[in-house]
Amino acid sequence: MKLLLTKFILLVIVLLIFTFSGKAQARKKADKDTEQWRYEIECSGEGVQGTYLIKVWSYSKKPHVAIDQAKKNAVHGIIFKGYPGGSGQQCQSQKPFARSANLENEQETFFKDFFADGGKYMRFVSLSTDGAVGAGDVMKVSKKEYKVGVVVAVNKAELRKYLEEEGVIKGLSTGF
């Protein structure tokens, strides 16, 4: 009886290790994809004042991982890419916060910490659909890769204020 109980406990421990290591590997691969910043961003309508409501299309081998990465991609897009306006959503195009194309390299240490898992970028973003993805928003683009669209709300006013306070970007009131 004691031997059977020991074997059962050992089996449970081994299963837990495999389960958590698989999730950790998926997260590492997603972070690697995110470091390449492979995503698309588009306007998804009007958010509350001071907020952008955008749809982020993220790429990943596992759809649930792409959903998690959408928040990082959304904040990155607001800072470095901006997005074009859309006639269907009656959105105005938005320029990126970064005035310099090299800002990410110039402030590499800041952005590495900022975009770390659970980093400060999380203060400025939320999933508008609570993580639910529409049927047409998950597309298989290759044998091993998915493209997942998630609607995200980014608090642009607070994000801009934070980046200005940290000295990463210049304020709108500063000269050219």
pLDDT in tens, the chain (176 residues): 677 777 777 776 777 777 666 555 555 555 555 557 889 998 887 778 888 888 899 988 888 888 788 889 999 999 999 888 765 656 788 899 988 888 988 889 999 999 998 899 999 998 766 556 676 788 888 888 888 888 889 999 999 999 999 998 887 666 55
pLDDT of residue 161: 93
Query: Which residues does residue 53 pair with via DSSP β-bridges, in sequence order?
Result: 153
Q: What is the pLDDT of residue 76?
A: 94
Residue 17 is encoded by which pair of tokens? 């290790």
**57 vs 137: CA distance, rounded Å:** 8
Angle separating helix axes 156-165 and 63-80, nearest 10 degrees: 60
Query: Which residues is 152 bridged to in the sheet?
Result: 54, 127
User: For residues 34 and 29, what is the distance between their CA atoms, to the nearest angstrom?
Assistant: 9
Strands (E), 23-105: 39-46, 51-60
Is the pTM of the predicted complex or chain greater than 0.85?
no
Could you tell me which residues are beta bridge partners of residue 150? 56
Domain parsing of the chain, residue ranges: 49-176
Instruction: Output the CA angle 119-125-130, nearest 5 degrees.
Output: 115
